[in-house]
A and B are shown apart, each in its own frame.
Chain A
Amino acid sequence: GDSVTQMEGPVTLSEEAFLTINCTYTATGYPSLFWYVQYPGEGLQLLLKATKADDKGSNKGFEATYRKETTSFHLEKGSVQVSDSAVYFCALSDRPSSASKIIFGSGTRLSIRP
């Protein structure tokens, strides 16, 4: 079945460092891809999305490009802040026009040192 694999955490960086969180997926069709973020004590929030190959999703300085040839959707940010500390989930939806259950990766905990 469809699945998402993302790099294990925790990831600890200093403020203003460059961030990459790797994500690869397996899907039989043409999924939509997402990054969700879970800040401490809060619910999951959609961070960004891409619905077709070569699309770039972006939000709050984060970016991810849908790479069909490598089945990847890596999350990047040029300069992280302490407020970016959270758990990040890569996810896919294999039926964007219908039920759209979301399949999540296991999450990557990110901690940013001041």
Chain B
Amino acid sequence: QVQLVQSGAEVKKPGASVKVSCKAPGYTFTNYGISWVRQAPGQGLEWMGWISDYNGNTNYAQKFQGRVTMTTDTTTSTAYMELRSLRSDDTAVYYCARGSKYQELYYFDYWGQGTLVTVSS
């Protein structure tokens, strides 16, 4: 059974960093890629970037370049998303979602349960 299991909610102060994990038991991790998508309260979905679990290639949305890093640990089938220099408008639910291992342009067939990141002083 395919699952994406994310780490728990975080509360951070402005200027801090957050690192969210996404563990993927139930399928061959390196056969896919992981995208990260966020959703601000009451808002729509925003794609942040992608990492290939196959070869580690990444592609970040321009808005987040320089502030986000996506990594994977194939030994534990876990993907990570670190966002730095947090601002209040980074408050959102962050989702990992499974896609293609070859490219970031793909649909997402399984999603994690989401991780709420709250940025507040």
Question: A and B: partners?
Answer: no
Residues of A in contact with B (beta carbons under 8 Å apart): none
